[in-house]
């Protein structure tokens, strides 16, 4: 697995960003020119229902068929891709080791990993990156090892479940693709944020609301301070509507999105379901940000960026601003990319921006990245 920062290489060995979500599959292709980063391709296709559950691929054939169709429709020729893991299939944690040579780190990582990984060591693939002293990634106050001393080093340890990685490898083979980098959603989105927002060295939170997961990543001076995934998302609203109105999934989705004519009483019921759910999301985020403020008082969160296919659920942004008392902005990963209006409708890119962050971040990766 290739983790952390995108490569500084600008023109060679760039990869196609392939974001495989439970609700949709997105592709982004970025090229480099004298004008800067140029958006060459972008598109998406619906993920066949129930084929990806909590990051696990349940039907390789169905998902690979969807990917092939997307590539064919976009006339994509590149076969080298960067994809990413998310949710409970991957764990990232900072640990502290004694200073040692690069050749000795891998052996030490294997010896230390069992202390930090809640799976059997034979159930995961391990990767790591050496961090600058003082970096902190996602540990609680009780777990925090503290910055390494001069004779110590901080390591970001990443563990991905082998069975899930094997599913991704099988999927890439079925789709006739070469998986060159397997990243983590939160790092891919953070890379996209760093090229899209002003003053990325400040303190901010990136909140991702997808179909079945809510991700929280607080960043300070370009480094992740705390991250967490929760089992919230847009499907939560759809399933409540299914139960309330005794309708199938597709009809409940249409009702949620306003695609079905309803009388005032039923429309009010749906609005109540949506308002209650987004308030629950906002409280979950507030709880996490309060924890970060208490555990890391010197790493203030000054603003929030929201992303993901469900981040623009009616009322979410307003509730989140009220609950957290922080400014909330929708992340636009296309903001500083060079785009050709003849190839991409600006209104379409603006509409799709909340869903494109991970794919853009993956498209910033290069073969050989660490």
CA distance 27 to 39: 11
How confident is residue 259, by pLDDT bands cut at 50, 70 and 90?
confident
Output the pLDDT for position 370. Answer: 55
CATH number for 198-331: choose from 3.40.50.11290, 3.40.50.300, 3.30.420.40, 3.30.230.10.
3.30.420.40
Extended beta strands in the chain, E state:
16-20, 24-33, 36-46, 52-53, 56-57, 80-85, 90-98, 124-131, 152-161, 178-184, 203-209, 214-220, 223-230, 303-307, 328-330
pTM, two decimals, is 0.86
Extents of the domains making up the chain: 90-160, 198-331
Looking at every residue in the chain, the average pLDDT score rounds to 86
How confident is residue 120, by pLDDT bands cut at 50, 70 and 90?
confident
Cα angle 334, 336, 338 (rounded to 5 degrees) comes to: 85
Topology (CATH level 3) of domain 90-160? Dna Ligase; domain 1 (3.30.1490)
Least confident of 87-96, 295-304, 318-327, 330-339: 87-96
> Are both 90-160 and 198-331 of the same fold?
no
Output the pLDDT for position 12. Answer: 53
Please give the residue that has the higher pLDDT: either 326 or 117: 326
Output the pLDDT for position 369. Answer: 65
Output the pLDDT for position 141. Answer: 37
- Is the confidence at residue 5, as pLDDT, over 70? no
CA-based nearest residue to 152, from 137, 132, 136: 132
% pLDDT > 90, the chain: 55
């Amino acid at each position: 697995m290739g983790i952390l920062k995108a490569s500084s290489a600008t023109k060679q060995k760039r990869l196609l960003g392939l974001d495989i979500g439970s609700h949709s599959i997105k592709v982004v292709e970025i090229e480099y020119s004298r004008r800067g980063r140029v958006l060459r391709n972008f598109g998406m296709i619906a993920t066949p229902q129930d084929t990806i559950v909590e990051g696990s691929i349940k039907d390789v054939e169905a998902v690979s068929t969807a990917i092939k169709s997307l590539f064919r429709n976009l006339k994509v020729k590149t076969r080298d891709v960067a994809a990413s893991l998310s949710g409970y299939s991957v764990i990232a944690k900072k640990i502290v080791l004694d200073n040692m040579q690069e050749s000795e780190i891998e052996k030490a990582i294997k010896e230390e990993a069992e202390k930090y990984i809640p799976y059997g060591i034979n159930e995961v693939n391990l990767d790591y990156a050496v961090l600058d002293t003082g970096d902190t990634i996602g540990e609680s106050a009780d777990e925090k090892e503290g910055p390494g001393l001069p004779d110590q080093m901080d390591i970001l340890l990443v563990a991905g479940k082998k069975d899930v990685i094997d599913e991704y490898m099988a999927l890439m083979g079925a789709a006739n693709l070469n998986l060159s980098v397997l990243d983590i959603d939160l790092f891919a989105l953070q890379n996209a944020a760093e090229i899209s927002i002003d003053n990325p060295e400040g303190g901010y939170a990136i909140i991702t609301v997808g179909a079945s997961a809510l991700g929280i990543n607080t960043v300070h001076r370009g480094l992740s301070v705390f991250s967490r995934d929760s089992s919230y998302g847009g499907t939560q609203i759809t399933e409540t509507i299914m139960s309330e109105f005794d309708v199938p999934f597709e009809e409940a989705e249409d009702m949620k999105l306003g695609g079905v004519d309803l009388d005032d009483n039923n429309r009010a019921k749906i609005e109540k379901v949506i308002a209650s759910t987004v308030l629950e999301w906002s409280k979950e985020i507030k709880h996490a940000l309060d924890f970060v403020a208490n555990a890391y008082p010197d790493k203030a969160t000054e603003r929030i960026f929201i992303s993901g296919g469900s981040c623009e659920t009616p009322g979410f942004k307003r509730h989140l601003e009220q609950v957290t008392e922080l400014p909330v902005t929708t992340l636009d990963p296309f903001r500083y990319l060079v785009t050709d209006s003849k190839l991409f409708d600006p209104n379409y890119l603006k509409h799709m921006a909340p869903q494109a962050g991970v794919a853009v971040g993956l498209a910033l990766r290069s073969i050989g990245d660490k």
